[in-house]
Amino acid sequence: MGNIGHGKIVKKWRCCTVKGAFTNKRVLITGASGFIGSHLVRRMVEENAEVNIIVRDGSDLWRIDSLLKDIKIHRADLRDSEKIDVYIRKIKPDYVFNMAAYGVDSRQKDYFIAANTNIIGTMNMLNPLISVGCKKFLNIGTCMEYGDKKEIIKETTHLEPFNIYGSTKAASTILAHQIAGENNIDIVTLRAYGVFGENEGNHKFFPHIILSILNNADVDLTGCEQYRDYSYIENLIDGFVLAAQNDAVKNEIFNIGTGIIHPLKYYVDKVFEKMETVKKPNYGVIPYRSGEVWKPHPDISKIQKILGWAPKIGFDEGLDRTIQWYERNKGKYIDGYPLY
């Protein structure tokens, strides 16, 4: 997308990265036990930040079990405003990464939990910062805020979410930027498109295919005619790092993806080819979901221009890393719930 050459983008990305920018900085991460949050925790530990996480009682921390000695754990539900207020005033974070969300898993459909977690939970995180302050509030958004669009999607595209996850995340984004703007809190939301990588839930697209092949199970799928833009997880984490480090970015929303879409069949074929299996995907066994998103195609020129971001790890390399990880760790998973 845009008129910036790939080599130039990568060079600019390297220029914008500040080595040691998070050293001894107080970082607070929500959703740390999840797929994206766990990768962010790992990056912040590697950056020598003072890492604090907020997780619910009973959260399974298997994704970050090797990092527990390097982080501080605070137990609270984002819906508990009193506990959240106490923790934030105690931590006094320099950076807040709000990665928690309800509804990423399409089996999560409770309207009240979605609204209270995604909207009220975000407000509970922001409200103490009005007096405590922080350098920047980094928020995870989603392409589902836009709904099912036929045109290429810019950040200014009209929001038309059609499920509870998309609508509550859209409301959360609008409220978060309004509250932050009124109170001089720097804020960035990255609206993520398809993301894949190590330790993703076994009900998701890539783990379902990879683990099914590894376990010699049938790979049951829909017709896989939906288009998607899939980028490796570390590219998304790079985007958050760049957004946090860039002091000139005060209040922005960015699409983040590769800017290139393919039918899901393209990705399925890639997995089967790399795993060298004689098995074949069973297309059409699973019906399409009601309210399916058919062609979410992001314009990523804004994040390229302002942050100098580009996906530095290509799809093939990211898929190789992902497959190898599941080969080593398939014992951590039981049968999942295929969604595609």
Residue 278: pLDDT over 50: yes
Taking CA atoms, 187 is separated from 122, 175, 230, 252, in Å, by: 12, 12, 25, 7
In the prediction, which pLDDT does 18 show?
A: 67
Tokens of 198: 């190590």
In the prediction, which pLDDT does 103 show?
A: 87
- Cα–Cα distance between 77 and 89 in angstroms, integer? 16
Residues 21-51 have pLDDT tens digits of: 999 999 999 999 999 999 999 999 999 999 9
- Cα–Cα distance between 212 and 277 in angstroms, integer? 11
Residues 132-178 have pLDDT tens digits of: 999 999 999 999 999 999 999 999 999 999 999 999 999 999 999 99
pLDDT, average across residues 326-338:
76
Q: Which domains does the chain have, with CATH numbers?
A: 6-195+230-256 (3.40.50.720), 200-228+260-295+314-329 (3.90.25.10)
In the prediction, which pLDDT does 20 show?
A: 81
Per-residue b/e over 199-234, b at no fewer than 16 CB within 10 Å? bbbbbbbbbbbbbbbeeeeebbbbebebebbbbbbb
Which one-letter DSSP state was computed for residue 215? T
In the prediction, which pLDDT does 108 show?
A: 84
Q: Where are the alpha helices (DSSP H) in the chain?
A: 6-16, 35-46, 81-91, 111-114, 121-126, 129-132, 164-182, 205-214, 233-245, 264-275, 301-307, 315-329
Q: What is the CA radius of gyration of the chain?
A: 19
Residue 106: pLDDT over 80: no
Stated pTM of the model? 0.92
pLDDT, average across residues 110-136:
97
Report the candidate in 229, 232, 192 with the shortest Cα–Cα distance to residue 99. Answer: 192
In the prediction, which pLDDT does 5 show?
A: 31
Band (340; pLDDT cuts 50, 70, 90): very low
Residue 335: pLDDT over 80: no
In the prediction, which pLDDT does 336 show?
A: 42
Choose the weakest-confidence range: 75-84, 95-104, 318-327, 331-340.
331-340
